[in-house]
Structure 1
Amino acid sequence: MDPQELRTLANAMRRRDLQAVFEAGAGHIGGEMSVMDILCALYFHTMSVDPNAPLDPKRDRLVLSKGHTALALYVVLSEKGFIPKDEISTFLKPYSRLNGHPNRCKVPGVETNTGPLGHGLPVGVGMAKAAKLDGDTWRTFVITGDGEMQEGSNWEAIMAAAQFKLDNLTLVIDHNRLQQGARLADTNDIAPLPPKLEAFGWAVEEIDGHDMQQICRALSPETAVVGKPKCIVAHTNKGQGISFMSDNVAWHHKVPNEEQYKQAMAELEGAAL
């Protein structure tokens, strides 16, 4: 897909995500809107994955460390063909396998269970190291939130990745400047992130996390630096595409009422034109 096709698809998946949150009466919609472009680019442009062979040992891996945005991943997996599209309507319902955090034992395409923050990157480091030990060329991608980067376990993993020269590992930080209940700057302000990652021996690139051309280029193997893991600091907006949600901390975990839902859907539909 070219960047325009990816933008159109990402916006359609935002609308499906919004509908599912509204119908379920729960969800982490703000962060789902901010990460959707990145997920779209990964699954429909960058990663080598096959929904007919979800456990192919040569597949690329994605770890969604910010597991509370599981619905965004489910929507993308359904669009890719890993799960039926109509299954999204079961999100959070009794006996549904589409829970509030992704479960690799239940959902094809989910690489590891996530939810407790700070766990995904250490797992991703292990995956990337395994590929190196086996002499394989598949790549590992990890998506974290910026608030999640306050977890010390991430920095231990960052040190290990540099030590092992894991140039097959890419960390994408969804840098939307907000976390649950507050702005990043008002809790433990770890920004700016690039110099910190660079000091740990990583190759770092900053991008507009809603610009498909920039996202695809940054994710491409051509931009890798031999012997260094890569970090993409993606500047995003929480609630992207919806005026009253954008950059609004209240929408970390909140459900729109009917009037808000109609307005948000109309804005997302208009953006797709």
Structure 2
Amino acid sequence: MTSEKQHELEALALRVREHIVRLSTDGGCFTGASLSCADLLVYLYADFLNVHPGNLTDPERDYLFLSKGHDVPALYGTFAELGFMPKERLNNHLKSNDSIYWHPNRSVPGVEFHSGSLGHLPSVALGVALDARMRGQNQKVIVITGDGELNEGTVWEALLVASAHKVNNLTIVVDRNHFQANIATEDLIPLEPLAPKFEAFGAVVKRIDGHDFVALEEAFSGLPFSPDKPSVIICDTVRGRGLPSIERRADRWFCNFSSDEVTSLLEELHSQEATKLTSETLTVR
């Protein structure tokens, strides 16, 4: 990845995080989890997947299913920035005259399937991947799960079927931010060692930094990892990424900030970005 492309993606991710913060008021949203997933969604839609506002009904487009539906502020923020919907539509969040609310709704262009009840979309994505293969098509099918979502047995059942039928065009991506709701995953039902679990169910696994666009490109450009197995990419992320005041906090899963708090958080977000850019400049020198 060129440095120019990397900077473009980072700038886009910053704008998506701004949307997430702005959606965290007047009823709130799942702020922390959405911030952990922003870089991943930005990379997939802006650089990797063949899906854009002009081909949403093309049966040969790529597919992304957001199984951890409470990350929808990151998804809608990405859609708004990439032209899937007008940015002004985000102002309808939680309004009765629109479908912009806490989980994905198919009335929003680009949303492939409703989600919210965790554990179901790996099976839906598997069905789409099988259908594509039966039709002789070669599109990519990605499903993003949360790490706490892995407590749902349907995730593993889908993976068993994918492995049995050698569905190599299915990729499960785990947003591994180490929290589920208001508790750390390892304090509730420990998931680690996670990669060997996926391997035992017949997948080929890679684990990367989910906030590093270079690492994301290196991993996704290698898909499928095997000609006869599904792929899994575990993305280690940080809940609340970009806002140190709420990063890695169990109580910052769902947030409903006041307008003054939103203003303060936006300032914090930009302050962190300025600090990062200054650090990078000094490193280059």
1:4 to 7, 25, 33: 7
State whether structure 2 residue 159 is matched by structure 1 residue 167. no
Instruction: Check the 8 A contact 2:12/2:81 in 1, yes or no.
Output: no
Structure 2 regions of 5+ residues with no counterpart? 275-285
Percent identity over the alignment is: 36
1:51 maps to a residue whose letter is P
Alignment of 1:109-258 (within 5 A): 109-221=110-222, 224-258=225-259
Measured after TM superposition, the shift of residue 258 of structure 1 is 4.3
Following the alignment from structure 2 to structure 1, what is the Cα–Cα distance between the partners of residues 111 and 218?
A: 24
Following the alignment from structure 1 to structure 2, what is the Cα–Cα distance between the partners of residues 208 and 261?
A: 28
Q: TM-score, normalised by structure 1?
A: 0.95
Instruction: Check the 8 A contact 1:145/1:174 in 2, yes or no.
Output: yes
Following the alignment from structure 2 to structure 1, what is the Cα–Cα distance between the partners of residues 221 and 272?
A: 27
Moved more, 242-251 or 73-82: 73-82
Instruction: Check the 8 A contact 1:77/1:83 in 2, yes or no.
Output: yes
Measured after TM superposition, the shift of residue 2 of structure 1 is 1.5
1:73 to 72, 75, 97: 75
Measured after TM superposition, the shift of residue 223 of structure 1 is 5.7
Q: TM-score, normalised by structure 2?
A: 0.91
Name which one, 1 or 2, has greater alpha-carbon Rg.
Answer: 2
Measured after TM superposition, the shift of residue 33 of structure 1 is 0.1
Instruction: Check the 8 A contact 1:208/1:234 in 2, yes or no.
Output: yes
Instruction: Check the 8 A contact 1:174/1:234 in 2, yes or no.
Output: yes
Measured after TM superposition, the shift of residue 222 of structure 1 is 5.0
The alpha-carbon distance between structure 1 residues 266 and 102, as it changes in their structure 2 partners (threshold 3 A), is same
Following the alignment from structure 1 to structure 2, what is the Cα–Cα distance between the partners of residues 102 and 173?
A: 18
Instruction: Check the 8 A contact 2:178/2:185 in 1, yes or no.
Output: yes
Q: Secondary structure at the match of 1:2?
A: helix
The one-character-per-residue Cα deviations of 1:201-241 (angstroms, maximum 9, x if unpaired) are 11100000111111122122456321111111100010001
1:76 maps to a residue whose letter is T
Following the alignment from structure 1 to structure 2, what is the Cα–Cα distance between the partners of residues 90 and 258?
A: 16
Moved more, 42-51 or 1-10: 1-10
Q: Secondary structure at the match of 2:142?
A: strand
Cα RMSD for the two superposed structures: 1.4
1:16 maps to a residue whose letter is H
| Consecutive aligned runs of 4 or more in structure 1 exceeding 4 Å deviation | none
